[in-house]
Amino acid sequence: MLKVVTSPTAPASAGATENRPQIWAVASGKGGVGKSFIASNLGLALAQSGRRTIVVDLDLGGANLHTHLGMSRPKHSLSHFINGKRSDLKEMIESLPGTTLGIISGASDHLEVANLKHFQKLKLIRHLYKLPADYVILDLGAGTTYNTLDFFNIADQGILSVIPEPTSIENSHRFLKSAMYRKLRDVPVDTKEIVKEILGKPTEQTRSLNTLNKIIASIHQKSAKHGKILRKNINSAGLHLIVNQIREPSDFQLGYSMALIWKQYYGKKPDSLSFLNHDASIMKALCEHQMYLHEHPHSRNAIQLKHLVKSIIHQQQS
């Protein structure tokens, strides 16, 4: 059943598993749809609930997560780690005054995630897993560069933000499709061969396989073993949809329609669906260097975000 986030679902409890932090990635197909707002405030909500939390700005081309937390640009940034000036990602953590939240700021130069070399990406991922935290929240750049897709795909929980505009909806489908297809490559060699066979040379028969769900079902028919591997890989992470900047009652329908499409296309509904109102005080907090969640703890959006945190933690534990 689709979990619409409306109320707390479970008491909060500790998060880190297997001696590594849980990683949540906030992504979108299109820019400017609230990723940094969501990532920073989810981080604050987790920290407020007593979890050791670090937010990481992986939008290296347009790093501004610190601004959403009311900070001026931190002294250290990912650039120092990526260009080898600092060897441990931990050294880049800055504490947010008055909170237990840590932040790793994005690049201060114009280095883009898209330009990260493969070995740099692997090193960064290794260090993300070693951060001293229960939760690490990744604020990703918009779009479908391979590096962004890979950061999304390593996360235990993927959170997709969309706003009720055709371009945002279209690009969010493109993002999720690209992320899922990339997951099909991250399987054992023999399974990968079968995927290649089906996607590589379209035939009369394979042309009708126009959804990921149908592709996996068709592979399952050929070989249940490989079908199961693919399905497991696609379902390996939690997937959450946030419809941000709701202004009209009809905007809610967008969330429900997208959930249905995900089910048809990927064979997987979002694990939760949340709605955030358009709220002018978000911009005001940004301009006044304040933290929205601290300034407006009883707003509908603050309550939704705190409920989302509880809901994800609950799902992860059940």
Other C-beta atoms within 10 Å of 228: how many? 14
36 binds Mg ion (CB under 5 A): yes
Q: Which of 244, 247, 312, 246 is nearest to 45 (CA)?
A: 312
- Cβ 167 to Mg ion shortest distance, Å: 17
Our finding on whether 286 is near ligand ATP (CB under 6 A) is yes
> Which of the listed partners (ligand ATP, Mg ion, none) does 262 bind, with a CB threshold of 5 to 8 Å by partner kind?
none
Nearer to Mg ion, 59 or 279 (CB): 59
Q: What is the sign, positive or negative, of the torsion defined by CA atoms of 206, 225, 240, 127?
A: negative
Residue 25 touches ligand ATP, criterion: CB under 6 A:
no
Minimum Å gap between C-beta 64 and Mg ion is 6
Shortest distance (Å) from residue 4 CB to ligand ATP? 18
The answer to the question of residue 305 lying near ligand ATP (CB under 6 A) is no
Q: What is the dihedral of CA 70, 71, 77, 78, to 10 degrees?
A: -10
Q: Of 35-43, 91-99, 108-116, 194-202, which segment contacts ligand ATP by CB under 6 A? A: 35-43
- Asked if residue 145 binds ligand ATP (CB under 6 A), the reply is no
Residue 272 makes contact with Mg ion by CB under 5 A:
no
283 binds ligand ATP (CB under 6 A): yes
Q: Is 282 in the site for ligand ATP (CB under 6 A)?
A: yes
Query: Is 274 a residue that touches Mg ion (CB under 5 A)?
Result: no
Q: Which two tokens stand for residue 88?
A: 């441990």
Q: Which does 44 bind (CB under 5 to 8 A by kind): ligand ATP, Mg ion, none?
A: none
Say how far residue 8 (Cα) sits from the centre of its chain: 21
Burial class (CB in 10 A: 0-12, 13-18, 19+), 278: middle
Question: 153, 178, 244, 274: which one contacts ligand ATP (CB under 6 A)?
Answer: 244
Among 36, 147, 153, 272, binds ligand ATP (CB under 6 A): 36
Of 37, 81, 151, 152, which one interacts with ligand ATP (CB under 6 A)?
A: 37
Quick note: the x/- pattern for ligand ATP over 249-278, rule CB under 6 A, is: ---------------------------x-x
| 34 near ligand ATP, rule: CB under 6 A | yes
283 vs 268: CA distance, rounded Å:
34
The residues, ordered by sequence, that sit 6+ positions from 62 with a Cβ below 8 Å of its Cβ are 31, 106, 141
What is the closest distance, in whole angstroms, from the C-beta atom of residue 290 to Mg ion in the complex? 18
To the nearest 10 degrees (0 to 180), the angle between helices 146-154 and 118-129 is: 20
Which are the contacts of 143, defined by CB distance < 8 A and separation ≥ 6?
29, 31, 171, 175
Burial class of residue 34, CB neighbours in 10 A (0-12, 13-18, 19+): buried
- The residues with which 113 forms a beta bridge, in sequence order, are none
Q: Which does 283 bind (CB under 5 to 8 A by kind): ligand ATP, Mg ion, none?
A: ligand ATP
- For the chain, the straight-line distance linking the first and the last C-alpha, in angstroms and rounded, comes to 15
- Is 142 an interacting residue with respect to ligand ATP (CB under 6 A)? yes
Among the residues of 235-271, which ranges form H helices? 251-266
Nearest distance in Å: CB 42, ligand ATP:
12
- Could you list the residues that contact ligand ATP (CB under 6 A)? 28, 31-37, 59, 62, 142, 244-245, 276, 278-279, 282-283, 286
- Could you list the residues that contact Mg ion (CB under 5 A)? 35-36, 59
